[in-house]
A and B are shown apart, each in its own frame.
Chain A
Amino acid sequence: EVQVVESGGGLVQPGGSLTLSCTASGFSVSAHYMTWVRQAPGKGLEWVSVLYDDGSAYYAESVKGRFTTSRDTSKNTLYLQMNSLRVEDTALFYCARVALNWPLDSWGQGTLVTVSS
């Protein structure tokens, strides 16, 4: 069964850092595009980042230069390193697998990041 499980969320002060993890089962993260999507409380979905199978990563303008997406193939895990966090980064962060031609076909339950002093 294809599954992704996010972890690593928590409370962090503005300007702080946090790393989220997304552990996959039933498929290899290195063989698929993988993406991060976030949802602020009571708000809509916002695309954050994509990691291609070749290891290259791309970001939304709102996080570019502050967030870094990577993976560990030995752990079949995707990561989102978040630096210089802002109050407006507070959100539920989802990891999702990207299928051919870009539909996000498998989502985790999300991990909550709260940025507050």
Chain B
Amino acid sequence: QSALTQPASVSGSPGQSITISCTGTYSDIGTFNLVSWYQQYPGKAPKLIIGEVSKRPSGVSHRFSGSKSGNTASLTISGLQAEDEGAYYCCSYAGSDTLVFGSGTKLSVL
């Protein structure tokens, strides 16, 4: 199972909106509405920010939203803040009792 494809880096200015794409195949993202997104700061554990494509866990800012179209999932962060700088990973159930992560995207807030 190959990693899901994410852009290596994205950047934006405070207050702007950015979108991170996560491209898989019909066998994972295309078939299952089981995509999650994680935020990771350097030296820290990942944190769940979106589950089941678009569901935000309690305590996660409303500035984070998720969506999916075909074999591609997307994470949008609106009203970009300096504290959003970090790495973001998508993850999808891939059938046959397996998960697959995305390659990861480093977000820079300029």
The interface of chain A, by Cβ under 8 A from chain B, is 35, 37, 44-47, 50, 52, 58, 60-61, 94, 99, 101-105, 107-110
Q: List 8 additional contacts besides A37-B46, A103-B57, A110-B45; criterion CB under 8 Å.
A: A37-B101, A44-B102, A60-B98, A99-B51, A101-B34, A101-B51, A104-B46, A104-B48
Partner of A47, one of B51, B55, B99: B99
Residues of B with C-beta under 8 A to A44? 3, 89, 101-104
Residues of B with C-beta under 8 A to A45? 38, 40, 46, 89, 91, 101, 104
Residues of A with C-beta under 8 A to B98? 47, 50, 58, 60
| Cβ A104 vs Cβ B38 within 8 A | yes
- Is B64 among interface residues, defined by CB-CB distance under 8 A? no
CA distance A20 to B100 in the complex (A): 22
The digit string for B30-53, where 1 denotes a CB below 8 A from any CB of A, is 000010101010001111101110
Partner of A103, one of B3, B36, B44, B104: B36
- Is B97 among interface residues, defined by CB-CB distance under 8 A? yes
Residues of A with C-beta under 8 A to B47? 107
Partner of A102, one of B36, B38, B44, B45: B36
Number of interface residues of B (CB under 8 A): 28
Residue of B with least CB distance to A44:
B104
- Is B69 among interface residues, defined by CB-CB distance under 8 A? no
| Cβ A108 vs Cβ B1 within 8 A | no
Partner of A60, one of B1, B34, B93: B1
Residues of B with C-beta under 8 A to A104? 36, 38, 46, 48, 91
The 7 closest A-B pairs by CB, nearest first: A103-B51, A58-B97, A44-B104, A47-B99, A107-B45, A103-B36, A45-B101
CA distance A94 to B96 in the complex (A): 22
Residues of A with C-beta under 8 A to B57? 103, 105
